[in-house]
Amino acid sequence: MTTDSTTQPGAETPGSSGRPYDASSRETTEGRVYTVTGGDWDDFVDETHGEERVVINLGPQHPSTHGVLRLVIELEGETVTKARTVIGYLHTGIEKNLEYRNWTQGVTFVTRMDYLAPLYNEAGYCLGVEKLLGVDVPRRAQIIRVLLMELNRISSHLVFLATGAMELGATTGMTFGFRDREEVLHLLEFLTGLRMNHAFIRPGGVAQDMPENYRERIEDFIKVMDERLPAYDKLFTGQPIWQQRLKNVGYLPLDGCLALGVTGPLLRSAGLAWDLRKIEPYSGYEEYDFEVPTSTDADCYSRFVLRVEEIHQSLKIIKQCLDKLDETPGPTMVEDAKIAWPAKLTIGPDGMGNSLDHVHKIMGQSMESLIHHFKLVTEGFDVPPGQVYSPVESPRGELGYHVVSDGGTRPMRVHTREPSFVNLQALPAMSEGGLVADVIAAVASIDPVMGGVDR
């Protein structure tokens, strides 16, 4: 074995100590090269047995670290003695960027934090802005928000199933999860114009009403999911290998969850039915009939089972949303024209630009409309001074927005209580004392999204 290296002045020359496993050296045109030869390796291993601890680096470019997450792990044999997480490889500066955009433009930033749950970021941020404004969102807009968020919960949990299975070697589960997630993304594209990063939920309501035939498309989706979800139980739930791989792995009891601030499926897997949709309802969630699944096993397997059940509960909520929308005509944005931009627009077919009908109206019929539109787009609206905290129950736990206004058209400060960031604190407690292979299962059960961690 040869390695290139250099020697510092005054440093001991390798091999000079006389130890049999030291390297001899020779000079080459590329510098000094060391060659490790000889030595009784078995005796050397025996001498250090029980004392030798190896530090390995997983990530940030590793297929099993769930994104650009770096893990520094100290091992004694196959046992993890110390685990540390290193973050910051996906930093976007979104929170700081929000201070330089008006309140409506902020939606296009926050939707890119947890990019697997964009609609929850939009909802949490807009709920904070609406609290500061003191406005009530129309009931139809609230129902649409709930509908979209529950669709988003399903797509996020399907990514958990797909990536978690892939990281543990179950490639069939990976293809199942991403196949079914595509069904959700196709539906969200039909409803909002975009597959991800929608910027559809906006201060005061939503960008526009549901398109024609939305009920038929959603019912078709529910039918497909009802047919496919049992396949996950057949493939995983009762599978002996899957159970052996996840049961009693990544154990984190309730007192550990509470001490670390862990929320979401991790907390519910430890036995506490803490779900903000039930505990502190928002957007009318108190009107919906659904259950909060829990377990007391507090391991990776229970978190898998809970998320599958949460998909069933989300489908139950979506069915109720369809009935409520039929019974609730009306606007999807507040009446105040100083806030309502751009709800009165008709969005173009690409989901981003304005329709030609709207452009013709403001450009050719009303100079006042054009001026008003221009000022709202460029300056935005004033928000009264104050600060609020608005939490929502995202697929990963409590996602909270601390929004501060100084009375201007831009936020003074927006800070996010991001569940992936908080939940990652639990990784050492879940991993230390276990096997190195189980670290991968523990990370997958946390289901962190690094866009939210490194916001």
Q: Rounded to 10 degrees, what is the CA torsion of 35, 38, 41, 43?
A: -140
Per-domain boundaries in the chain: 1-52, 94-263+277-285+300-341+380-453
pLDDT at 404: 96
Length of the chain: 455
Please give the Cα distance from 250 to 442 (Å, whole number): 5
Asked whether the beta carbons of 180 and 159 are under 8 A apart, the reply is no
Name the percent of the chain lying above pLDDT 90: 58
Is pTM beyond 0.85? Reply is no
The contacts of residue 211 (CB under 8 Å, 6+ apart) are 190, 191
pLDDT at 45: 46
- Note the pLDDT tens digit of each residue in 17-50: 455 445 577 788 767 776 655 455 455 445 445 5
Cis before 230 (ω within 30): no
**CA atoms lying within 13 Å on the CB side of residue 389:** 8
CATH class name, domain 94-263+277-285+300-341+380-453: mainly alpha
Strands 31-36 and 23-28: antiparallel
Q: What is the mean pLDDT of the chain?
A: 85
Exposed e or buried b for every residue in 329-363, given b needs 16+ CB within 10 A? eebbbbeeeebbbbbebebeeebeeeeeebbebbe
DSSP per residue over 390-423, as a string?
Answer: EEEEETTEEEEEEEEE-SSSS-SEEEEE-HHHHH
- Note the pLDDT tens digit of each residue in 265-322: 999 999 999 999 999 999 999 999 999 999 999 999 999 999 999 999 999 999 999 9
Please give the Cα distance from 453 to 90 (Å, whole number): 8
